Structure 1
Amino acid sequence: MINHAIRFGSEVEAARTAGAPIVALESTIISHGLPRPANLTVAKEIEATVRAEGAVPATIGMIGGEIVVGLDEGEIHHLAGSDDVVKLSVRDLAPAAAARADGATTVAATSAIAAKAGIPVFATGGLGGVHRDASATFDESADLTALSRLPITIVCAGVKSILDVGATLERLETLGVSVVGYGTRRFPGFYLTDAGFDLDWSVADPESVAEIIRAARTHEVHGGALVVANPLPADEQLDPALHDRVLAEGLAGLARDGVTGKEVTPYLLAHFHTATEGKSLDVNVRIILRNAQLAARIAAAL
């Protein structure tokens, strides 16, 4: 029988013993989020960014049915290059473990594993959320319900602009997930600096985020996760006019090609990559590197 316990990579295990800051990282960006060979290059850059800020990266995934917190270089290479890597949300973890699968963890699964492992800070690109046709399909990301019950801080660039951003913010409020803007009171839209929605709370530095985390621990009365929305500077975002045109084309393509369910997001992201001639990929990489840097600074401050 396979051992279904979580395995910690050697660097992460040493950091846990020493009480050093650790940042959790997802692995779907390696297996499904970026094209080859950029996926492997960016995965290494993300980890290097975390280390440069004095924290230890803990990229999370599944190898042969075993959950690994802190994939080593060979395991990251494997997830980056294999065609048989399963995309794992929380509901998939047990079946994939029993099947001895190789898997990459989504935001929801990475958050759940990081919380279980006692890692309080997680960096990603953008959250999943409520899809634009959710009133008919009830399609919303498992990220939202996972964050409603996990004591974790997630640094992101808001939610992907291909989603219904307003409805997603409403759901986060309903689910008890705190959202603070980093240096802003406007919610970012992943590729876009400003998605068009106000935020109630804003922080100016990593120490302020750490203080919020400490407050939640002290009074022990909290809802779900803390989302730190970290927008791209306006001069680094995808051109808004280009974004809006490409999004409209992509949404029309969904209807034309009959794409539904979990295939919607990868379809639209692939369309963005093609239609913007790689500009959206460049923005995506800037987003995750900036979020990894901020998450490491928060972990160090904590």
Structure 2
Amino acid sequence: MGSQANLRLASIKDHLFPTSVPRSHGVAVLQTADRFGFKIEPKVRHAIYESSPIVALESTIITHGMPYPQNVQTAKEVESIIVGYGAVPATIAILKGVPCIEDDLEELGRNGSSFTKTARRDISHVVGYSKSILNR
């Protein structure tokens, strides 16, 4: 019984722990994002293209979690830790109806209370009305 489990694990090992992701995968992701009008900052675009590790961050902590400027300082500290581990931070928000992976934490932090906090179920509605919202 143990050898059957080992054979099964060996057959799916490459799916669980890929040694590399083909660059074509990153290109396809970027093409899809471009087609749907996503705005992706250059560092994150490069990481997607190179299949480098990316950590998605909610923008809610910046806009509704803490007062300015503590919110921006905390977000920058979190990003610094992520970079220290070799990944690329990607803060996600919807700005003026456009899904964004944003690097302008100052803008998000200063204008925090003017953003609408939303849930996943509301995104299509808010994008349709071109509002600025946050992921949750």
Paired amino acid for 2:69 = P
User: CA–CA distance in 2 between the matches of 1:51 and 1:38?
Assistant: 20
Out of 60, 74, 85, the residue aligned to residue 28 of structure 1 is 60
User: CA–CA distance in 2 between the matches of 1:17 and 1:42?
Assistant: 28
Instruction: State the Cα deviation string for residues 33-69 of structure 1 (Å, max 9, x = none).
Output: 1122211111111111100111000110111110112
Deviation of 1:93 after TM superposition, in Å, equals 0.8
Greater helix proportion: 2
The 3 A distance-change label for structure 1 pair 98 and 4 is farther
Structure 1: 4+ residue segments shifted above 3 A: none
Q: Contact 1:4–1:67 at 8 Å: present in 2 too?
A: no
Instruction: State the Cα deviation string for residues 211-236 of structure 1 (Å, max 9, x = none).
Output: xxxxxxxxxxxxxxxxxxxxxxxxxx
Out of 99, 112, 115, the residue aligned to residue 129 of structure 2 is 99
- Please, which runs of 5 or more residues in structure 1 have no aligned partner? 107-302
- Please, which runs of 5 or more residues in structure 2 have no aligned partner? 1-34
Structure 1 length-normalised TM: 0.32
User: CA–CA distance in 2 between the matches of 1:102 and 1:79?
Assistant: 10
Deviation of 1:96 after TM superposition, in Å, equals 1.3
Aligned length: 101
Out of 94, 107, 111, the residue aligned to residue 78 of structure 1 is 107
SS at match of 1:35: coil
Q: Map 1:271-290 to 2 at 5 A.
A: none
Quote the residue 2:94 is aligned against.
62
Paired amino acid for 1:91 = R
Paired amino acid for 2:103 = D
Deviation of 1:4 after TM superposition, in Å, equals 5.1
Structure 2 length-normalised TM: 0.68
* Greater RCO (CA < 8 Å, at least 6 residues apart): 2
Out of 51, 56, 71, the residue aligned to residue 19 of structure 1 is 51
SS at match of 1:100: coil
User: CA–CA distance in 2 between the matches of 1:46 and 1:101?
Assistant: 27
User: CA–CA distance in 1 between the matches of 2:48 and 2:92?
Assistant: 15
Q: Cα RMSD between the aligned structures?
A: 1.5
Paired amino acid for 1:33 = G
